[in-house]
Amino acid sequence: MRVFVPQKHGLHSPKFEYSNSKLRKYRESPERIDKIVKRLSLNHRFMISEIEGKESLSKNGVHFDKMIEIFEKIKVNDYLIPDTFNIKRLEREPNECDAKLGMYLFDTATPFGPNTADVLRNSFMTVKEAVKYIKKTRENVYVALRPPGHHAGYDFFGGYCYINNAAIAAVRLKKAGKVAILDIDYHHGNGTQDIFYYSDVLYVSLHADPATEFPSYWGYADESGEGEGYGYNLNIPLPKGTRKQEYLMALRNALEIISNYSPAFLILSLGLDIYKDDPLGTFEIDRDGLNEIGMLINVLGVPTLILQEGGYALDEIGENAEAFIEPFS
């Protein structure tokens, strides 16, 4: 199985984030991907391909041009965390860099640094290469990339996410056939939902109940899409402490809906923060459970593009990724 990795991902490495009213060590660290790649490189089933190139973010085909223009042009000497946000969505653009970012940022845990834009360009190129590969071969592929993407919407970013990798892949794959997106990150992919809420790209998400977990304002069961997208958005919120059998039951329901949709491609937003010892999750799913989830999804028999999202149990993340992905190899 081919594994694509953005070579420059480690250049985005903030020291801190501000979350839950505290200044904390930044959790979305380069170690996440480094440990996954190190583990997979020991398994003969996986072939690692590092992507060195980068692509202009203006060609993403998903996000609001003005937000992307700020990412491309902003010049900073250190990581910025804005403290003022454009909650009324006014179009006036201030001069200060942190205020520019605050026009589109929705949290205080997503710093923007001197190399962040270059890392995003490299990630964008990596996703494009993975899309080319799966379109040509119809083989499953895993993209071990960071920053993650599913919290980045059309005109907002946050939750460690700046550009939406799943959405970027979906708009490209859609040209070759119907696309479904399955999001199994612990947290709801509010950005992916936002981008496709009015379109016929099927988005199905299993996640922690947003009434008690991030991102709080999106991810409820009654959000089913609008206009041409009505019925194409399915949220399955699960309670804290959800156990493996409860999760698998919900997943089977989700997979039946995806199967009935008959997609040509499946994009899987993989959040390893559903693991039982993840510091940002509460589900009771062990490593064997991750393997079972992977096997169940693979039974669909649809070419699958797996994109790494969350997962913050650093000591276990390599083995967890391997356990989940192995059924697809």
pLDDT digits (tens, 9 = 90+) for 146-195: 999 999 999 999 999 999 999 999 999 999 999 999 999 999 999 999 99
Model pLDDT, residue 126 = 98
For residue 12, being part of any structural domain is answered with: yes
In a domain, 324, yes or no: yes
Per-residue pLDDT tens digits for 224-274: 999 999 999 999 999 999 999 999 999 999 999 999 999 999 999 999 999
User: How many other CB atoms are found less than 10 A from the CB of residue 37?
Assistant: 18
How many C-beta atoms lie closer than 10 Å to residue 256's C-beta? Answer: 11
* Enzyme catalytic residues: 151
pLDDT class of 89 with cuts at 50, 70, 90: confident
> Where do we find the tokens 């993975």?
130
* Cβ contact 185:270 at 8 Å: yes
Nearest residue to 8 (alpha-carbon basis) of 44, 62, 42, 55: 55
Q: Is residue 248 part of a domain?
A: yes
> 136: which 2 tokens?
């040509």
Residue 139 lies in a domain: yes
On whether residue 96 sits in a domain, the answer given is: no
Q: What is the CATH number of the domain that holds 238?
A: 3.40.800.20
The mean pLDDT of 6-22, rounded to a whole number, is 96
Q: Where are the beta strands (DSSP E) in the chain?
A: 2-6, 16-19, 22-25, 47-51, 141-143, 179-183, 202-208, 233-238, 265-270, 304-308
What is the per-residue pLDDT for 208? Answer: 98
User: Residue 127 belongs to what domain range?
Assistant: 2-57+115-328
Instruction: Name the pTM for this structure.
Output: 0.98
Q: What percent of the chain has pLDDT over 70?
A: 100
Per cent of the chain over pLDDT 90 is 97
Residue 98 CA to residue 7 CA, distance in Å, equals 27
Helical segments of 138-164, H only: none
- By residue count, the chain amounts to 329
User: In this predicted model, what pLDDT tens digit does every residue of 20-69 receive, in sequence order?
Assistant: 889 999 999 999 999 999 999 999 999 999 999 999 999 999 999 999 99
Whether residue 100 has pLDDT greater than 90: yes
Indicate the number of domains in the chain.
1
Q: Is 99 exposed, middle or buried (0-12, 13-18, 19+ CB in 10 A)?
A: middle
* Averaged pLDDT for residues 278-293: 98
Give the N- to C-terminal CA distance of the chain in Å, as an integer: 5
